[in-house]
């Protein structure tokens, strides 16, 4: 997101509402683990609506500022898989919709390197609060905890309206006890370059990668040689910044994020994300 490395220097509330739609798949020439079973390929349509509430705490003057946030999400998903049951390939399709796993950040520590350069350190958690069953191929939970240390960076050039944002993190998963599947850690890096105009509009490019660090483990993972995955995505982003009557900043963004290349990851050219962010005291 724009200004991702900036924790405001004064106590404020931030509300972010998003909508993410993805129509993605893995080809039928690949075996894929899903809910303790193997599928020949996999397809999924997903609509995720996250709502983030972030509080910047009153820490007084200085280069350091601190915040905390929580993000409940609602997920609708439709999954298609080809399962081998009793030696017979069976095509299945299921839908599910409910609250997704809860995402929360106990602490974000922002450091103001200068007026135009900022760094934010955070520790983020996905909690398995959604519904999960191994009898379903469509679920609204990953059924594991995920812990994500992360560093974000923002550099601004106010004279020209240019901005660079970057987020780097590592995702550590606990084992899915229902399937005995253990995801390996994932390294993630996302970079956004943005040009803002006097009208409040902005245009830019966002690029990201996911790189798996090691092999997955468990009976199914061993059959798939660790099922090591990676992907690269890149796409355009449009933003608009304005202020409400009470001078509260309001920002909008929309982006299209097609997959450039991928391996053992859901990929496609139909991933779209839109967000609206409001900051108030």
Residue 243, domain CATH? 2.40.128.130
- Is 43 among the domain residues? yes
- Is 6 among the domain residues? no
Q: Is the pLDDT of residue 61 over 90?
A: no
Q: Average the pLDDT over 111-132 and give the result.
A: 97
- Is 195 among the domain residues? yes
- Confidence band for 150, pLDDT divided at 50, 70 and 90: very high
- Is 109 among the domain residues? yes
Q: What is the per-residue pLDDT for 251?
A: 96
DSSP letter for each residue of 94-145:
EEEEEE--EEEEEEEEEEEEETTEEEEEEEEEEE--S---TT-SS-S--SS-
**SS3 state at 174:** coil
Which regions of the chain does DSSP assign to beta strands (E)?
A: 13-34, 37-56, 64-71, 73-85, 88-99, 102-114, 117-127, 146-157, 162-173, 186-196, 201-212, 230-243, 249-256, 259-263, 272-280
The pTM for the full model equals 0.93
Range of the domain at 142: 13-280
Total domain count, the chain? 1
Q: Average the pLDDT over 133-162 and give the result.
A: 96
- Is 31 among the domain residues? yes
User: What percentage of the chain reaches a pLDDT higher than 70?
Assistant: 99
- Is 5 among the domain residues? no
- Is 8 among the domain residues? no
Q: What is the per-residue pLDDT for 168?
A: 98
- Confidence band for 109, pLDDT divided at 50, 70 and 90: very high
Distance CA 27, CA 41 (A): 5
- Is 7 among the domain residues? no
Torsion, CA 172, CA 174, CA 176, CA 181, rounded to 10: 60
Q: What is the per-residue pLDDT for 86?
A: 65
Residue-averaged pLDDT of the chain: 95
């Amino acid at each position: 997101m724009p200004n991702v490395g900036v924790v405001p220097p004064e106590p404020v509330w931030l509300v972010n509402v998003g909508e993410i739609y993805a129509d993605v798949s893995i080809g039928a020439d690949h075996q894929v683990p899903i809910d303790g079973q193997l599928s020949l390929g996999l397809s999924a349509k997903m609509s995720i609506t996250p709502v983030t509430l972030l509080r910047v705490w009153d820490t007084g003057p200085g280069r350091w500022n601190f915040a905390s946030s929580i993000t409940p999400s609602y997920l609708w998903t439709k999954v298609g898989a080809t399962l081998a049951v009793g030696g017979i390939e069976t095509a299945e399709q299921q839908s599910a919709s409910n609250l997704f796993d809860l995402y929360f950040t106990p602490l974000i520590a922002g450091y103001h390197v200068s007026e135009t350069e900022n760094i934010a350190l955070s520790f983020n958690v996905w909690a398995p609060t959604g519904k999960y069953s191994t009898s379903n191929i469509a679920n609204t939970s990953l059924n594991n905890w995920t812990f994500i240390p992360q560093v974000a960076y923002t550099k601004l050039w106010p004279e020209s309206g240019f901005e660079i944002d970057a987020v780097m993190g590592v995702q550590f998963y606990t084992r899915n006890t229902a399937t005995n599947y253990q995801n390996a850690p994932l390294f993630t890096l996302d970079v956004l370059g943005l040009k803002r105009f006097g009208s409040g509009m902005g245009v830019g490019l966002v690029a990201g990668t996911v790189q798996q660090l090691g092999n997955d483990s468990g009976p199914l993972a061993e059959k798939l040689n660790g099922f090591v995955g990676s992907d690269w995505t890149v796409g355009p982003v449009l933003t608009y910044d304005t202020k409400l009557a009470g001078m509260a900043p309001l920002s909008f963004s929309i982006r299209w994020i097609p997959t450039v290349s991928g391996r053992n990851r859901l990929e496609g050219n139909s991933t779209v994300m839109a967000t609206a962010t409001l900051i108030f005291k």
